[in-house]
Protein backbone atom coordinates (compact mmCIF):
# COMPACT_ATOMS: atom_id res chain seq x y z
CA UNK A 1 0.00 0.00 0.00
CA UNK A 2 1.41 3.41 -0.93
CA UNK A 3 0.87 6.09 1.73
CA UNK A 4 2.86 8.73 -0.12
CA UNK A 5 -0.11 10.64 -1.48
CA UNK A 6 -1.03 14.28 -1.15
CA UNK A 7 -4.28 15.32 0.50
CA UNK A 8 -5.76 18.72 -0.38
CA UNK A 9 -8.39 20.21 1.92
CA UNK A 10 -10.23 23.31 0.86
CA UNK A 11 -10.93 24.65 4.32
CA UNK A 12 -9.58 27.26 6.73
CA UNK A 13 -6.85 26.76 9.32
CA UNK A 14 -9.29 26.90 12.22
CA UNK A 15 -11.50 24.25 10.67
CA UNK A 16 -8.48 22.04 9.89
CA UNK A 17 -7.24 22.26 13.48
CA UNK A 18 -10.73 21.41 14.72
CA UNK A 19 -10.72 18.25 12.61
CA UNK A 20 -7.23 17.20 13.73
CA UNK A 21 -7.67 17.78 17.47
CA UNK A 22 -11.37 17.21 17.91
CA UNK A 23 -12.19 15.81 21.32
CA UNK A 24 -8.87 16.84 22.90
CA UNK A 25 -9.12 19.29 25.82
CA UNK A 26 -5.76 20.82 25.01
CA UNK A 27 -7.14 22.57 21.92
CA UNK A 28 -9.15 25.77 22.23
CA UNK A 29 -10.43 28.17 19.61
CA UNK A 30 -10.35 31.60 21.16
CA UNK A 31 -10.63 34.72 19.05
CA UNK A 32 -7.98 34.55 16.29
CA UNK A 33 -5.33 32.49 18.14
CA UNK A 34 -5.06 28.70 18.22
CA UNK A 35 -2.91 26.66 20.61
CA UNK A 36 -1.57 23.22 19.83
CA UNK A 37 -1.32 20.49 22.49
CA UNK A 38 1.60 21.12 24.88
CA UNK A 39 2.41 24.59 23.42
CA UNK A 40 1.95 27.91 25.25
CA UNK A 41 -0.39 30.48 23.82
CA UNK A 42 0.85 33.44 21.75
CA UNK A 43 -0.23 35.80 24.51
CA UNK A 44 1.95 33.89 27.04
CA UNK A 45 5.01 34.06 24.78
CA UNK A 46 4.56 37.78 24.21
CA UNK A 47 4.16 38.39 27.94
CA UNK A 48 7.47 36.52 28.72
CA UNK A 49 9.58 38.56 26.24
CA UNK A 50 11.23 41.82 27.39
CA UNK A 51 13.11 44.57 25.56
CA UNK A 52 16.64 45.19 26.86
CA UNK A 53 18.46 48.41 26.05
CA UNK A 54 22.03 49.23 26.97
CA UNK A 55 25.36 50.83 26.24
CA UNK A 56 28.80 49.21 25.71
CA UNK A 57 32.07 51.08 26.48
CA UNK A 58 35.75 50.12 26.76
CA UNK A 59 38.29 50.69 29.55
CA UNK A 60 38.51 54.39 28.69
CA UNK A 61 34.71 54.81 28.66
CA UNK A 62 34.71 55.24 24.89
CA UNK A 63 31.72 53.70 23.06
CA UNK A 64 32.39 50.38 21.33
CA UNK A 65 30.97 50.35 17.81
CA UNK A 66 29.83 47.02 16.33
CA UNK A 67 29.98 44.90 19.52
CA UNK A 68 27.95 41.68 19.23
CA UNK A 69 25.02 41.29 21.65
CA UNK A 70 23.54 37.78 21.48
CA UNK A 71 20.94 35.99 23.59
CA UNK A 72 22.78 32.92 24.88
CA UNK A 73 21.68 29.65 23.34
CA UNK A 74 19.91 31.34 20.42
CA UNK A 75 20.67 33.18 17.20
CA UNK A 76 18.78 36.24 18.43
CA UNK A 77 21.17 39.16 18.52
CA UNK A 78 22.17 42.65 17.43
CA UNK A 79 25.19 44.98 17.32
CA UNK A 80 25.90 48.33 18.94
CA UNK A 81 25.52 51.55 16.98
CA UNK A 82 27.97 54.45 16.59
CA UNK A 83 27.29 55.55 20.18
CA UNK A 84 27.66 52.05 21.61
CA UNK A 85 23.89 51.70 22.22
CA UNK A 86 21.77 48.62 21.49
CA UNK A 87 18.21 47.35 21.89
CA UNK A 88 17.22 43.68 21.85
CA UNK A 89 14.01 41.81 22.67
CA UNK A 90 14.79 38.62 24.62
CA UNK A 91 13.01 36.06 26.75
CA UNK A 92 12.58 36.84 30.44
CA UNK A 93 15.50 35.55 32.51
CA UNK A 94 17.77 35.30 29.46
CA UNK A 95 21.56 35.69 29.50
CA UNK A 96 23.32 38.08 27.10
CA UNK A 97 26.73 37.39 25.56
CA UNK A 98 28.78 40.48 24.66
CA UNK A 99 31.82 39.99 22.38
CA UNK A 100 34.17 42.15 20.32
CA UNK A 101 37.50 41.54 18.59
CA UNK A 102 40.40 42.12 20.98
CA UNK A 103 38.18 42.09 24.09
CA UNK A 104 37.08 39.41 26.54
CA UNK A 105 33.63 37.88 26.00
CA UNK A 106 31.19 38.65 28.86
CA UNK A 107 27.96 37.03 29.94
CA UNK A 108 25.32 39.05 31.82
CA UNK A 109 22.10 37.65 33.28
CA UNK A 110 19.21 39.98 32.46
CA UNK A 111 17.09 39.22 35.52
CA UNK A 112 14.66 42.09 36.19
CA UNK A 113 16.83 44.66 34.43
CA UNK A 114 15.72 46.52 31.33
CA UNK A 115 18.80 48.72 30.81
CA UNK A 116 22.44 47.61 31.00
CA UNK A 117 25.66 49.66 31.18
CA UNK A 118 28.42 47.31 30.07
CA UNK A 119 32.20 47.84 30.19
CA UNK A 120 34.31 45.28 28.32
CA UNK A 121 37.98 44.54 29.05
CA UNK A 122 40.87 44.05 26.64
CA UNK A 123 42.09 40.51 26.06
CA UNK A 124 45.90 40.53 26.25
CA UNK A 125 46.14 37.17 24.45
CA UNK A 126 44.19 38.42 21.44
CA UNK A 127 46.09 41.70 21.43
CA UNK A 128 49.26 39.68 20.94
CA UNK A 129 48.14 39.10 17.34
CA UNK A 130 48.42 42.84 16.61
CA UNK A 131 51.60 43.94 14.80
CA UNK A 132 53.15 47.36 14.23
CA UNK A 133 53.20 48.41 10.58
CA UNK A 134 54.73 51.40 8.80
CA UNK A 135 54.64 54.72 10.68
CA UNK A 136 53.84 52.86 13.90
CA UNK A 137 50.25 51.95 12.94
CA UNK A 138 48.92 48.87 14.74
CA UNK A 139 47.01 46.34 12.65
CA UNK A 140 45.88 42.75 13.01
CA UNK A 141 48.43 40.48 11.36
CA UNK A 142 45.79 38.39 9.59
CA UNK A 143 44.28 41.55 8.03
CA UNK A 144 47.50 42.54 6.25
CA UNK A 145 48.16 41.76 2.61
CA UNK A 146 51.93 41.56 3.00
CA UNK A 147 54.50 39.68 5.09
CA UNK A 148 55.03 40.92 8.64
CA UNK A 149 56.50 38.92 11.52
CA UNK A 150 56.68 39.89 15.18
CA UNK A 151 59.16 38.95 17.92
CA UNK A 152 58.21 39.73 21.52
CA UNK A 153 60.74 41.47 23.76
CA UNK A 154 60.57 38.66 26.32
CA UNK A 155 62.09 36.29 23.77
CA UNK A 156 65.09 38.63 23.46
CA UNK A 157 65.74 39.28 27.15
CA UNK A 158 65.47 35.69 28.42
CA UNK A 159 69.00 34.83 27.21
CA UNK A 160 70.68 38.17 26.62
CA UNK A 161 73.60 38.62 24.28
CA UNK A 162 75.83 41.63 23.60
CA UNK A 163 73.88 42.38 20.42
CA UNK A 164 70.12 41.74 20.21
CA UNK A 165 70.54 40.98 16.51
CA UNK A 166 72.15 37.69 17.58
CA UNK A 167 68.99 36.86 19.54
CA UNK A 168 66.96 37.22 16.33
CA UNK A 169 68.79 34.30 14.72
CA UNK A 170 66.24 31.78 13.45
CA UNK A 171 63.21 33.70 14.76
CA UNK A 172 62.09 35.49 11.56
CA UNK A 173 61.45 33.74 8.27
CA UNK A 174 63.33 35.32 5.37
CA UNK A 175 65.79 37.15 7.64
CA UNK A 176 69.39 35.96 7.62
CA UNK A 177 71.52 36.87 10.65
CA UNK A 178 75.20 36.26 9.88
CA UNK A 179 77.04 36.01 13.21
CA UNK A 180 80.80 36.38 13.33
CA UNK A 181 83.13 34.38 15.56
CA UNK A 182 85.46 37.38 15.90
CA UNK A 183 85.37 39.34 19.14
CA UNK A 184 83.12 42.43 19.11
CA UNK A 185 82.12 41.89 15.48
CA UNK A 186 78.52 42.99 14.88
CA UNK A 187 76.33 40.47 13.02
CA UNK A 188 75.11 41.25 9.52
CA UNK A 189 71.33 41.30 9.04
CA UNK A 190 69.80 40.64 5.63
CA UNK A 191 66.07 40.58 4.86
CA UNK A 192 65.47 38.71 1.63
CA UNK A 193 69.12 39.22 0.74
CA UNK A 194 69.32 42.98 1.38
CA UNK A 195 70.08 45.18 4.38
CA UNK A 196 66.88 46.55 5.99
CA UNK A 197 66.12 49.97 7.46
CA UNK A 198 66.01 50.27 11.26
CA UNK A 199 63.07 52.22 12.72
CA UNK A 200 62.83 52.92 16.46
CA UNK A 201 59.44 54.06 17.79
CA UNK A 202 58.44 55.26 14.33
CA UNK A 203 61.66 57.20 13.64
CA UNK A 204 63.94 55.80 10.90
CA UNK A 205 67.70 55.78 11.63
CA UNK A 206 70.64 55.18 9.34
CA UNK A 207 73.42 55.79 11.88
CA UNK A 208 72.61 53.17 14.54
CA UNK A 209 72.49 49.39 14.76
CA UNK A 210 70.54 47.01 16.95
CA UNK A 211 73.57 46.84 19.25
CA UNK A 212 72.80 50.40 20.37
CA UNK A 213 69.48 49.23 21.86
CA UNK A 214 69.37 47.27 25.13
CA UNK A 215 67.36 44.06 24.92
CA UNK A 216 65.59 44.87 28.22
CA UNK A 217 64.23 48.10 26.69
CA UNK A 218 62.58 46.35 23.72
CA UNK A 219 58.86 45.64 23.89
CA UNK A 220 58.66 44.05 20.45
CA UNK A 221 60.36 43.89 17.06
CA UNK A 222 58.27 43.80 13.87
CA UNK A 223 59.95 42.90 10.59
CA UNK A 224 58.29 44.32 7.47
CA UNK A 225 59.43 42.32 4.48
CA UNK A 226 59.66 43.73 0.97
CA UNK A 227 58.78 47.01 -0.70
CA UNK A 228 55.02 46.62 -0.25
CA UNK A 229 55.28 46.36 3.54
CA UNK A 230 57.57 49.36 3.91
CA UNK A 231 56.39 51.56 1.03
CA UNK A 232 55.73 54.52 3.34
CA UNK A 233 59.48 54.78 4.05
CA UNK A 234 60.34 55.28 0.38
CA UNK A 235 63.54 54.06 -1.17
CA UNK A 236 65.23 53.58 2.22
CA UNK A 237 62.66 50.95 3.17
CA UNK A 238 62.65 49.17 -0.15
CA UNK A 239 64.66 46.27 1.26
CA UNK A 240 62.44 45.85 4.31
CA UNK A 241 62.20 47.46 7.73
CA UNK A 242 63.04 46.31 11.26
CA UNK A 243 60.65 48.21 13.53
CA UNK A 244 61.69 48.38 17.19
CA UNK A 245 59.05 49.36 19.75
CA UNK A 246 60.55 50.29 23.12
CA UNK A 247 58.89 49.80 26.48
CA UNK A 248 56.75 52.51 28.05
CA UNK A 249 55.29 52.98 31.51
CA UNK A 250 53.03 50.02 32.31
CA UNK A 251 50.46 49.90 35.08
CA UNK A 252 49.81 52.90 37.28
CA UNK A 253 52.33 53.44 40.03
CA UNK A 254 56.08 52.99 40.42
CA UNK A 255 57.86 49.99 38.94
CA UNK A 256 61.56 49.16 39.45
CA UNK A 257 63.01 46.26 37.49
CA UNK A 258 66.49 44.70 37.72
CA UNK A 259 67.69 42.09 35.24
CA UNK A 260 71.13 40.48 35.18
CA UNK A 261 72.59 37.63 33.18
CA UNK A 262 76.04 36.09 32.76
CA UNK A 263 77.19 33.79 29.98
CA UNK A 264 80.48 31.91 29.63
CA UNK A 265 82.23 31.25 26.34
CA UNK A 266 83.02 27.59 25.73
CA UNK A 267 85.95 28.56 23.52
CA UNK A 268 87.35 26.22 20.91
CA UNK A 269 85.62 22.87 20.74
CA UNK A 270 88.80 21.29 19.39
CA UNK A 271 92.42 22.41 18.96
CA UNK A 272 94.59 20.74 16.28
CA UNK A 273 97.22 18.50 17.80
CA UNK A 274 100.80 19.53 16.89
CA UNK A 275 103.81 17.24 17.08
CA UNK A 276 106.12 17.90 20.04
CA UNK A 277 108.57 15.01 19.78
CA UNK A 278 111.21 16.62 17.50
CA UNK A 279 112.91 20.00 17.50
CA UNK A 280 113.23 22.40 14.60
CA UNK A 281 115.76 21.35 11.96
CA UNK A 282 116.12 18.69 9.28
CA UNK A 283 117.63 15.21 8.99
CA UNK A 284 117.60 14.69 12.76
CA UNK A 285 119.88 17.67 13.38
CA UNK A 286 118.73 20.69 15.39
CA UNK A 287 118.81 24.20 13.95
CA UNK A 288 116.78 27.31 14.73
CA UNK A 289 115.70 28.15 11.19
CA UNK A 290 113.06 25.93 9.66
CA UNK A 291 111.09 22.67 9.61
CA UNK A 292 110.30 20.40 12.54
CA UNK A 293 112.34 17.30 11.79
CA UNK A 294 115.34 18.02 13.98
CA UNK A 295 116.77 16.25 17.00
CA UNK A 296 114.70 14.11 19.38
CA UNK A 297 113.30 16.07 22.36
CA UNK A 298 113.09 15.15 26.04
CA UNK A 299 115.94 12.57 25.96
CA UNK A 300 118.58 14.66 27.77
CA UNK A 301 120.30 16.29 24.77
CA UNK A 302 121.29 19.96 24.66
CA UNK A 303 121.77 22.57 21.96
CA UNK A 304 122.53 26.26 21.57
CA UNK A 305 119.17 28.02 21.77
CA UNK A 306 117.92 31.56 22.19
CA UNK A 307 116.98 32.50 25.76
CA UNK A 308 114.11 35.05 25.76
CA UNK A 309 114.86 36.05 29.36
CA UNK A 310 118.56 36.92 28.91
CA UNK A 311 118.28 37.76 25.20
CA UNK A 312 121.33 35.53 24.61
CA UNK A 313 122.12 32.34 22.71
CA UNK A 314 122.89 29.73 25.35
CA UNK A 315 123.37 26.00 25.69
CA UNK A 316 120.02 24.64 26.90
CA UNK A 317 118.26 21.28 27.13
CA UNK A 318 116.17 20.20 24.14
CA UNK A 319 112.73 19.80 25.74
CA UNK A 320 109.14 20.18 24.50
CA UNK A 321 108.55 23.24 26.63
CA UNK A 322 106.11 24.96 24.22
CA UNK A 323 103.72 22.13 23.39
CA UNK A 324 100.79 23.69 25.35
CA UNK A 325 101.56 27.31 24.50
CA UNK A 326 98.28 27.95 22.69
CA UNK A 327 96.13 26.35 25.39
CA UNK A 328 97.95 28.33 28.05
CA UNK A 329 97.48 31.49 26.02
CA UNK A 330 93.67 31.21 26.02
CA UNK A 331 91.53 32.61 28.83
CA UNK A 332 87.94 32.00 29.92
CA UNK A 333 85.60 34.24 27.90
CA UNK A 334 82.43 35.63 29.45
CA UNK A 335 79.82 38.37 29.09
CA UNK A 336 77.73 40.04 31.79
CA UNK A 337 74.63 42.07 30.96
CA UNK A 338 73.01 44.14 33.73
CA UNK A 339 69.97 46.39 33.38
CA UNK A 340 67.98 48.46 35.86
CA UNK A 341 64.86 50.34 34.83
CA UNK A 342 62.58 52.82 36.59
CA UNK A 343 59.04 53.39 35.34
CA UNK A 344 56.17 55.47 36.70
CA UNK A 345 52.69 56.04 35.36
CA UNK A 346 49.94 58.28 36.66
CA UNK A 347 46.60 59.57 35.46
CA UNK A 348 48.17 62.47 33.57
CA UNK A 349 51.23 60.74 32.12
CA UNK A 350 54.27 58.65 32.87
CA UNK A 351 57.91 57.95 32.07
CA UNK A 352 60.43 55.13 31.84
CA UNK A 353 64.21 55.30 32.08
CA UNK A 354 66.86 52.60 32.25
CA UNK A 355 70.59 52.04 32.68
CA UNK A 356 72.39 49.20 30.91
CA UNK A 357 75.91 47.88 31.50
CA UNK A 358 77.57 45.20 29.36
CA UNK A 359 80.96 43.66 30.15
CA UNK A 360 82.26 41.40 27.40
CA UNK A 361 85.58 39.56 27.83
CA UNK A 362 87.12 37.53 25.04
CA UNK A 363 89.29 34.44 25.29
CA UNK A 364 92.51 36.29 24.44
CA UNK A 365 94.43 38.48 26.95
CA UNK A 366 93.41 42.18 27.05
CA UNK A 367 90.36 41.45 24.90
CA UNK A 368 87.59 43.34 26.71
CA UNK A 369 84.60 45.49 25.83
CA UNK A 370 82.48 47.61 28.18
CA UNK A 371 79.21 49.13 26.94
CA UNK A 372 77.27 51.56 29.08
Q: Reply yes or no on whether the pLDDT at 101 is more than 90.
A: no
pLDDT at position 27, please? Answer: 43
Task: Place 34 in a pLDDT band, splitting at 50, 70 and 90.
Answer: very low
Q: Given this model, what pLDDT does residue 45 score?
A: 45
Number of helices followed by number of strands (H, E) in the chain = 7, 26
Closest Cα partner for 150 from 181, 172, 134? 172
Q: Round to whole Å and give the CA distance between 201 and 132.
A: 10
Cα–Cα distance between 113 and 96 in angstroms, integer?
Answer: 12
What are the pLDDT digits (tens) for 255-304? Answer: 888 888 888 887 788 888 878 888 888 888 888 887 888 888 888 888 88
Q: Please give the model's pTM, rounded to 2 decimal places.
A: 0.51
Confidence of residue 238 (pLDDT cuts 50, 70, 90): confident
Higher pLDDT, 156 or 2: 156
Residue 15: band (very low, low, confident or very high) from pLDDT cuts 50, 70, 90: low
- Alpha helix (H) residue ranges in the chain: 13-20, 42-48, 124-127, 154-157, 164-167, 226-229, 325-329
pLDDT-derived band at 225 (thresholds 50, 70, 90) equals: confident
- The beta-carbon contacts of 169-177 under 8 Å, at least 24 apart in sequence, are 172/223, 173/149, 174/147, 174/225, 175/223, 175/225
Structure letter (DSSP) for residue 7: -
How far from 111 is each of 54, 78, 95, 114, 276, CA to CA, in Å? Answer: 14, 19, 8, 9, 93
For the ranges 48-52, 130-134, 328-332, which has the lowest average pLDDT? Answer: 130-134
Mean pLDDT of 21-28: 47
Rounded-to-integer distance, Cα 288 and Cα 309, Å: 17
Spatial distance between the Cα atoms of 325 and 269, rounded to a whole number of angstroms: 17
Give the pLDDT confidence of 164-173 residue by residue, as tens digits.
888 888 888 8
Higher-confidence position of 275 and 13 = 275
Q: 278 and 295 in contact (C-beta within 8 Å)? A: yes
Please write the tens of the pLDDT for every residue from 37-53. Answer: 444 444 444 457 889 99
Question: Domains in the chain, start-ordered, CATH in brackets?
Answer: 13-39 (no CATH), 46-123 (2.60.40.1120), 128-267+330-372 (2.170.130.10), 281-329 (no CATH)
User: Hey, how many other C-beta atoms are within 10 angstroms of the C-beta on 266?
Assistant: 9
Query: pLDDT by residue (tens digit) across 193-207?
Result: 888 888 888 888 888
**Cα gap 320→307, rounded to integer Å:** 15
Return the percentage of the chain with pLDDT > 70, whole number: 78
**How far apart (Å, rounded) are the C-alpha atoms in residues 209 and 193?**
18
Amino acid sequence: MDFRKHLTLKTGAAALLSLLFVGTPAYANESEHQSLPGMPSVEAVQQDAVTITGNVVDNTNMPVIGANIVEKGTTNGTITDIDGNFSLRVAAGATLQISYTGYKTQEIAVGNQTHLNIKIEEDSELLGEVVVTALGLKREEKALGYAVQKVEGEALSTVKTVDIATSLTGKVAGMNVQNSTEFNAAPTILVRGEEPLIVVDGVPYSNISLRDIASDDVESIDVLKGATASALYGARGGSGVIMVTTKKGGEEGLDISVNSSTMFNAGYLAIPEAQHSYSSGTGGVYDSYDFVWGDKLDIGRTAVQYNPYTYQWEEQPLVSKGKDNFRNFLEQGMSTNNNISLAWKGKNGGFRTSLNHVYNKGQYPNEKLIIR
